Amino acid sequence: MFRPSAKDSDPSVLRKARAACYAARDQYYACAEEAGTEVSPEVVPVACRKLRAAYEASCRRTWVEHFDSQRQKEVRLLRAINASIRASGDQAHGTLAGKPLGDRGE
């Protein structure tokens, strides 16, 4: 886990560490998405375990917790949006959606 020391207070060192953290996070999330799983510390796909370890080693624990929480919220929001779209599509079926005007039953 990255822990800056007094000599690491140079902004360029911190910037590089932050960039390494973001890169490790993005690689892990991409792997988890490819595997079709949610981002969760409890459920890590076998193919992504090394990437998860690199992510946890590159980022502060609090950052990992924050990023994982943020990602889980994004996934829940996308599910809700997709469910809403599917529901509105089901409601639109049988209405004027996609039907010629002459087929309205008038």
pTM, entire model: 0.68
Q: What residues contact 91, with CB distance under 8 A and at least 6 apart?
A: none
CA distances, 84 to each of 46, 71, 94 (Å): 32, 20, 18
CA distances, 18 to each of 6, 15, 38 (Å): 16, 5, 23
Is residue 48 within 8 Å of residue 38, measured between CB atoms?
no
Encoding tokens for residue 15? 């910037």
**Domain limits, the chain:** 10-86
Given a cut of 70, is residue 92 above it in pLDDT?
A: no
Encoding tokens for residue 20? 């390494």
Task: Express each pLDDT in 53-86 by its tens digit.
Answer: 999 999 999 999 999 999 989 888 988 998 888 8
Task: Express each pLDDT in 17-54 by its tens digit.
Answer: 999 999 999 999 999 889 887 777 788 889 999 999 99
